[in-house]
Amino acid sequence: MKVYVAKEDTKLSGFTDDVCAAASFCLRTLLKNRDVRVNGVRVCTDVPLKKGDEVAYYLSAAQAARTGFAVLYEDDNVIVADKESGVNSEAVFSALSERGEAHFIHRLDRNTAGLLIFAKNAQAAEELLAAFRTRRVTKAYLALVVGTPSQKHAVLTSYLKKDAASATVRIFDRPVGEKIVTEYEVLAPGDTALLQVTLHTGKTHQIRAHLAHIGHPIVGDEKYGDHAFNRAHHATRQRLIAKSLTLNTGGSLAYLSGMTFVSAHNF
């Protein structure tokens, strides 16, 4: 059994996605079997939650074993986790927080697999946040896109503006919103091409929206993708992996400078 307390008004499904990846994978089954209790009462639907409500998930051993991530590296200061696609970054943070002190540093989209780094103390969090802010962290991604870009290698510069109403972003070639820089290299051309993508800025949905903007959306992307292509190829989840993370850190984390971590996920 896993027990959590709601910190705000929400729905059971959203709450589950953020606090317990193991339960989110099988929530329909848990509800069907009435293996979820809210304030001690069994529920069978996606009920609303109030702040302070206690939610208990009665998971089998097999259900509980699927955590949604693996720990690639851990020491006294940091944890590097390798997240599955379909798992919220918040759920990884929740699981790590159950083990001890943890600090959120950055996020990946739910359907993006790959690397996340967390701090285990305030000093490490301060250094990691500074490293991300000053672009001393290099993040490389693998992306499978529709079609092959005409240039084998390019550094794309555009502008990104958030649309809060639709929870999406829009890309412009003129100065509107925030400047973004996305670099890509074609690793394997074809009807779907494999790209290595390096972020020089890290904005919401940057890779997904920027590649769609140049006519090569990520396969399986439901927000920015080619919906007809996705349906025809039964692509229901975006093919994007945060593949490597290289640190250039100082202070208490100077010993990590130059280290590169690589995700085990592939297409």
Active site members: 109
Q: Which residues contact 3 (CB under 8 A, 6 or more apart)?
A: 54, 55, 56, 57
User: Rounded to whole angstroms, how far apart are CA atoms 232 and 176?
Assistant: 35
Cα 255 to Cα 75: distance, rounded to the nearest angstrom: 11
Residues 71-97 as b/e (b if ≥16 CB within 10 A, e otherwise) read ebeeeebbbbbbbbbebbbbbbbbbbe
| Alpha-carbon distance values, 131 to 207, 241, 259 (Å) | 20, 21, 14
The structure tokens listed for 220 are: 């399986």
What spatial distance separates the first Cα and last Cα of the chain, rounded to whole Å?
Answer: 34
